[in-house]
Copies of this chain bind each other. A is one copy, B any other.
């Protein structure tokens, strides 16, 4: 699946694994993330499958850059994926909620501390989405050579997905606050 994140970005512009990881961590990380290691291994696989090609750009004083470019086959694959309708809900894996589900097992004060810590973490995350992500996306993406018409359509969806991250954090924070309040009130 990381496959399509990589093809998607390479479709805008040729770049290295290092560049791709940075882009991902600045733009899609709240709904799709990847480590550098994984980016490098998947890129290699995609090249073997003929969806991308690479060229080495020699550098001095640091490792040569391996710049990847999407092929016609890769572009078709990407478009096919985007056109295919999806009928299933995305399956979630949220370790903290799993913990919360079983928190009746531990004492109330420890549970409260866990919830309050998570509240802080999500407040920070929310701040990031509001204040930093928009600028980060704009900066990262300003180098892409897109026509004005195309750009408009892309910006619409980049911004829409960023907004979802923001709304998600707001919902999560509200839930944590309510749950903390309710837990404090709970019996003796």
Contact = CB atoms under 8 A, between A and B. Distances in A.
Interface stretch (A4-12, A13-21, A43-51): A4-12
B167 A182 contact: no
A158 B167 CA distance: 24
Contacts of A153: 104, 108, 186
Nearest to A125: B89
Q: How many copies does the complex hold?
A: 2
Given A32-B93, A33-B91, A171-B167, A85 B113 contact: yes
A103 B157 contact: yes
A82 B106 contact: yes
Interface residues of A, number: 72
Given A105-B79, A105-B82, A157-B101, A96 B90 contact: yes
The 3 A-B pairs at the shortest CB distance, nearest first, are namely A104-B154, A31-B97, A104-B153
A123 B38 CA distance: 35
Interface of A: 1, 4-5, 8, 11, 27-28, 30-33, 78-79, 81-83, 85-106, 108, 110-111, 113-114, 117-118, 121-122, 125, 150, 152-158, 160-161, 163-164, 167-168, 170-172, 174-175, 179, 182-183, 186-187
A105 B11 contact: yes
B156 A186 contact: yes
